[in-house]
Amino acid sequence: MSAILSVKDLSVHTRDVTLVDQVSFDLAAGERVGLIGESGSGKSLTALAVLGLLGDGLRASGRAELDGEDLLSATERRVCELRAERIAMIFQEPMTALNPTQRIGDQVGEALRIHRGASRRAAKLAAVELLARVELPDPARYADRYPHELSGGQRQRVMMAMAISCDPDVILADEPTTALDVTVQRRILELLDRLVTEEGCALLMITHDLAVVSELCERILTMYGGRLVEQGPAAEMLHQPRHPYTQALLETSRAISVDSSAPGGALPSIPGSVPSAGHFPAGCPFRDRCSNAVERCGEFPSMKTDGDHAIACWNPLTGAEADAGSGSGADATAADVPSAGRP
């Protein structure tokens, strides 16, 4: 399949520090890809750089081609056009993305007025239809409300309605269920799954929740220290990871699922913590936390491709090590990863 979004050597810098370092990946039309990693790995910055939404003091380099058109070198006006018509984002915390002084219907219909030339009345009618598509009850009534009058799950539905308003080719979803309780998480994920299917658009799902990618995604990218360290088909990545960091994420996810109801004791975690920006070790950024580290890990390995799988590691896991570490064995299925929304 041809790539609808092609990211090549994308980096994000401050004046003194590189926060995202030469990230490259493709997203095919209609494909669903999960971008995973702990907080501080650079996942959200990657998405914001692609969309031209970096904050003051940050700059991006490289290329992010949407159907062949580079978003990073395009004018601000052109990027604004593409953000509404071709590529959209669902933010982690909708309250920070919605305008507190505007009614919901006006905000959902705004892109239709600006980019499709819809009249105010036509845009409001379309907004009500979009709110119905995201399963808000009595959508006409909710269209007249303000963001603070909605619950967190309802606001996230509004963000989804805004994202699909102009039939985008690509949706970037940045931890869209993190702030919600488990029951609402499940409903939002089911809704996102349905909307992406109905729209036929590509999805980049940014999350630390491996259960989410196991259910929604066909391919997974693992990110750590501002770099991609592994990528491949979801089935392989979830059950035979090659990078020690991906394996550590899987082990922690499974252990938390098993131990979450046990009284007392600390939840399992990866040894150490994610360093702050600018304080990752030279070479492989994971080497200070990695039991497989060797002397050569002081140099960063280039991404090596093996079939549909690619890994940046000097001492990758063998198939037997990956099976033993994941506890999955040869007969592993997606059921080994805890279901999204399960406490």
**Hey, how many other C-beta atoms are within 10 angstroms of the C-beta on 35?**
28
Give the separation between CA 191 and CA 294, rounded to whole angstroms.
45
Residue 318 lies in a domain: no
In a domain, 200, yes or no: no
Does residue 127 fall inside a structural domain?
yes
Q: Phi and psi (nearest 5°) for 236?
A: -70, -45
pLDDT at 2: 83
Tell me which residue range forms the domain holding 158: 87-167
Strands, sheet with 3-13, edge to edge from the N-terminal-most edge strand: 18-28, 3-13, 59-66, 69-70
**How many domains does one find in the chain?**
1
Q: Beta strand 227-233 with 69-70: parallel, antiparallel or unpaired?
A: unpaired
In the prediction, which pLDDT does 340 show?
Answer: 47
| Contacts for 68 with CB less than 8 Å, ≥ 6 apart | none
Residue 32, CB-side half-sphere exposure with 13 Å CA sphere: 19
Residue 157 lies in a domain: yes
117 domain residue, yes or no: yes
What is the model's pLDDT at position 252?
Answer: 86
Taking the C-alpha atoms of residue 203 and residue 197, their distance in angstroms, rounded to an integer, is: 10
Give the single-character DSSP code of 288. Answer: G
Instruction: Please state whether beta strands 69-70 and 219-224 pair in parallel, antiparallel, or not at all (unpaired).
Output: unpaired
* 159: in domain: yes
Look at residue 107 and tell me if it is in a domain.
yes
How far is C-alpha 286 from the geometric centre of its chain's CA atoms?
20
pTM here?
0.88
**Cα gap 285→283, rounded to integer Å:** 6
Residue 24 lies in a domain: no
Residue 86 β-bridge partners? none
Reading the chain (343 residues) residue by residue, the pLDDT tens digits are 689 999 999 999 998 899 999 999 999 999 999 999 999 999 999 999 999 999 999 999 999 999 999 999 999 999 998 987 899 999 988 888 899 999 999 999 998 998 888 999 999 999 999 999 999 999 999 999 999 999 999 999 999 999 999 999 999 999 988 878 888 888 999 999 999 999 999 999 999 888 889 989 999 999 999 999 999 999 999 999 999 999 999 988 876 655 554 444 555 678 888 888 888 888 999 999 998 999 999 999 999 998 899 999 999 998 656 665 555 433 444 445 544 443 3
Give the total residue count for the chain: 343
**What SS3 state is found at 266?**
coil
